[in-house]
Structure 1
């Protein structure tokens, strides 16, 4: 005995279907009415499919011919669904092009992954003068009554169907586009963009609803939209709640399995694109997001391509700058046309973890969302490079694979060193794998001036084919090296400089600057012939032993710094012109500096990183500033800085911390990440620090008390 009422009902439904169709062999014509001559002809359909999920085998589809005014002609045909994929064969010849469809049966529930507990009825309207299939689905059902209303109001069938489809999608927060095609041509088992839209909407309506509740929701939607092209707030709320709980991954898996025999596959992303799961009126495909933006960085997102249903609309954004076809819009609103490309630029928050958003709107209706999440850089220890003496400076080759370390003997920083340890020199390291440095080599250069064995500075030039270095032993010297073989640089020349400590080179011309702390002067060398550098200018004596030198990109300014002292020289003529003392206050003191543009430099003080405008050196302007951990009394008042113009990011070593500094907006510099380690701590016995970074900013090399600290960044 069958005890389940639901099972008895399903069996009765399926068993009685053959009796209904026995006289016609699968289809039947219940009328012999004479066709209306105004719209009569001969029409056919190649196939048909009934889908909520797919209707099950044995379900019934009824096709009824209509006159142009949507009244029945009396000609009606019935078809039986012949597979669990919802397929049926409409093999009749139709005498009118307009056909009304009614499908009733059990269906595959893509949310529960089971056959429905009861039957549901779906409707549809087709025009066989343009359509070649007779499909019925959730979307044809939602437009069914609205089309009839609009035709009764005097519209043609074509115009009414277009308006109804536009209104139904709008009610679901989907802007209509002509590329979707007609609803009656969609098929869950196909792979077009609009077929995936159908799958998402089908899943939305069945979420949380059994067959009876689904039927009620469809009927409610049909009735409401038929009146004026919109749905009630109550129906909107039901669908919004369903959207929030819809498990698109589960639905995608279930549909893929159901249609596996057809080689069909769909992903959760395919479904997410069509659902507003946030409740703000924006479906997934129109959510543009940057999830790892640097602090205070202008980011452009999009594009939003204007669909045909929004042709001629006036749009605005709630924040940021709107771009239309690449041009910034300076007015509050702008009119758009089909296929216009819209994007928005937003300034990310300076605070890690913050999200800033902007909506593209038509009136008060959100149609797209643009959001940017500020991602804090995560700096971690990658490796330590020890056994290299006391590092003074570090430089990285242009291919990021070879590291040069300028060091002095360990005995230079201790009062007791017996026997003397001689481990200073120029070290080269293979850092093609930064976390596993290899082939550490110490190089001492025999020169006519004596062995160059203790180095203060190292810097690459000429796109990495040449390196400049300063050696402090045997009277001191400026060295020029051939780095064609990066790990075995060869000596080109050695030039006497009594006690070199600061070094910089021009990025655009063969010029090098060296500070000589024995005479407290700066020297300018022409190195167009690297084998024989020529001293072209010497500065007046400076009341400080200059540790750091930085040159503006146009070679017009030279900034000399040492432990808070800062002096700018006008180098426009190539000679040492007017010098201006610029460290007039704590905010303008300079421990280290680097130019980021002509007349604009980033400087490091004991407690801040500043962006300075030196257009008028006599009155320097602080464009922006960000605080850092103040140096302690046991730490040397020195720092190191390097700048990546492509990333608009500086890396600073101060005390025991390395800072990544975002400089995309010089007025609002921000710390995008930092790394603190006692291995970086410097004592008052140290007079020079060095820092270098890979071109992608992911690896940083900083001098420590006993070696190089390799830092990795996300």
Structure 2
């Protein structure tokens, strides 16, 4: 039985923490056989696509088109399309075609439309080796197909999603329900995606949000090529992803799927920059294009990758870490900008332990703390940039074991990297003063199309003599996530005059903001006032949660 979305992350991490990282079994357990074509060892035929091609237009699919990318599949690769009924069974509608240059799939002339399993089988460009694969490979996607409406792409992430749909639709879940209420959250939790996988593209820029997720596709596709993942291993990974409901309930069974997942995560985390740079260079050489260079993306992945790769991140605590006289460096992955607290627990006194938080191993301390007679060390670091890696160095003059190391968010966003809001309900967080450190401001950007929006903020402690919070709303003319014009460098929406200030002593605030011409131009700044001044605890890190509801009017 599938679970509530609110339980996804917690349950997933429990399952993965128990799963461990050192499975050595080679059993598969893969039952993904419907409509498959096994890999072959034939040499790819020569084709015009073996030579570098000149880029023409942006590769965002046009109506009736999609792209097949492992790297890109070779010109002339077989594409089969099988119609699906609402319960996931085959409808009897079938169609086939071949890919064009850059792996393009044209669905013109299909003669029918609806939900379908799209299977691409052939030779692909290995973005790490820089050559065409000697073996054929198969990738799948479940999506609506049409000769006149936008279709989508076939890639590594759609292959995982395809087996998930195929497994759960016969159990009474609709395609739309699985896509919107479950799978999107799982792919965000596991791989840091906020864009549907069929919208991602390895060869071109679509828009800033899609490009950041295409970076993740490029990273994991390159990692997959680097470790030499086979068809059997990928199918076993997809099978385990589906059968365990993305890790919930039963742990992933030891075997081919979990082993492939561990290797993939470790390769992506340990060699991210090298993999992406090499892949982009090889794609550029072969096709005359690649997706643009964007900021590192793997740090947006949640606790799954932390458990497997030994990183400290907000949703992935580390356990039983030995500490001695030789410094121990622990990489720290920060998803979103803001203030963070670090809590290190010991079984006994923390006396003699020294903790240094820095940008790189051995770098200058951003914050440091020393152990005392208590059983924990706790400190705050602020503000940290999002989507990047930091380092926690631990040392001790006597051997000790950190029983648990936790990273937790205290506030959200900064002036230059505001936390993204969506239409609907958003979980907010703002910190309190911690000793002499101010930790009382959270910054937000609404990621939505142009229009007028109503914001309702509430759920924080109230009833004091001072207004608990002050909220400022901004209608700025730029998207701060995009490069700013030269004459606007150094500006941000929060150093301009706000369009709205809500400072009344109330348990909730509501106001409206508008930008009718461009998306992603509305911003919020929430500052803790009354709750900050009346509830200070100088000994522990504290924050308060609230809700930001966004409605389009």
TM bucket by the smaller chain?
0.3 to 0.5
Q: Give TM-score, length-normalised by structure 2.
A: 0.44
Higher helix share: 2
Name the larger-Rg structure: 1
- Higher relative CO (Cα under 8 Å, sequence separation at least 6) belongs to 2
